Amino acid sequence: MRSLLRVVSVTVFCAFLGSVQAAAGFDDAAEAYARGRYAAALAEWERLAKAGDAAAQFRLGEMLRDAKGVRWADFEGAAAWFRRAAAEGNVDAAYALGRLHYEGFIVPRDTAEMLSALAGAARQGDARALVTLGVVYEYGLDDIDPDLTQALKWYDLAAGRGVVQLDAKIEKLSRRVRDKMTAAQIAEAQRLAQAWNPAVE
């Protein structure tokens, strides 16, 4: 019994030590990044990302996208890391993946993956994703036709998030799309926004 307890104790201690080391490594990479030591930050976040750390996967994707610590931007590489982090529930990675497609940095643009990534971030309450979905539906994009009712639904959902930095923009977008709509379309958009259930969307 004592040997079993000792094995369990050692296992728990090793797991704790591993998580402490991973946190320290992430913080070291963040400090290196803040000081402009991008190669060091990239190396540490890559090590952690390959070990399955979703936050490091997201940061590595950002560095590849923004050409920090690498010679040129690598949008495909960034997308790969964003996908992995988004699959682990990282909302920032889901939004970043959707934006790569939206902005046309991945060729050819995959609108299905874009909508899926943005919807994933939206389900987690990301106001930026909600606004981007509104813009996509207001104007249409590639094989996505404009749909003002859907656009207003997403804008209304974004307005309910209380993100001060986006409030004025959301109000302007919402007002602009309402000016193009009938009263019946506006009512339907409001109904859709009220009925929206992130758990089943």
Q: Which residues of 118-134 are buried (b: 16+ CB within 10 A; e: fewer)?
A: bbbbbbeebbbbbbbbb
On whether residue 177 sits in a domain, the answer given is yes
Task: Round the average pLDDT of the chain to a whole number and report it.
Answer: 87
The total number of structural domains that make up the chain: 2
* 8 and 88 in a common domain: yes
For the question of whether the overall pTM of this predicted structure is more than 0.75, the answer is: yes
3-state secondary structure of 141: strand
Interacting residues of 49 by C-beta distance below 8 A, sequence separation 6+:
56, 57, 59, 60, 81, 84
On whether residue 118 sits in a domain, the answer given is no
Q: Is residue 147 very low, low, confident or very high in pLDDT (cuts 50, 70, 90)? A: very high
On whether residue 97 sits in a domain, the answer given is no
* 11 and 69 in a common domain: yes
At residue 54's C-alpha, the angle toward residues 162 and 76, to 5°, is 95
Q: With 90 as the cut, is the pLDDT of residue 194 above it? A: yes
- What whole-number distance in Å separates Cα of residue 117 and Cα of residue 83? 9
Lowest mean pLDDT among 18-22, 32-36, 45-49, 99-103: 18-22
Structure tokens at 193: 């926004």
Name the residue with higher pLDDT: 160 or 103: 103
Structure tokens at 91: 């909302």
* 72 and 130 in a common domain: no
On whether residue 2 sits in a domain, the answer given is yes
Give the model's pLDDT for residue 8: 41
* 2 and 88 in a common domain: yes
On whether residue 49 sits in a domain, the answer given is yes
CATH code, 2: 1.25.40
On whether residue 111 sits in a domain, the answer given is no
* 87 and 25 in a common domain: yes
Residues of the chain with pLDDT > 70: what percent? Answer: 88
Q: With 50 as the cut, is the pLDDT of residue 4 above it? A: no
* 146 and 69 in a common domain: no
Q: With 60 as the cut, is the pLDDT of residue 22 above it? A: no
* 144 and 68 in a common domain: no
On whether residue 83 sits in a domain, the answer given is yes
* 199 and 152 in a common domain: yes
Domain that holds residue 199: 125-201
CB atoms within 10 A of CB 194: 11
On whether residue 165 sits in a domain, the answer given is yes
* 130 and 62 in a common domain: no
Structure tokens at 114: 């874009």
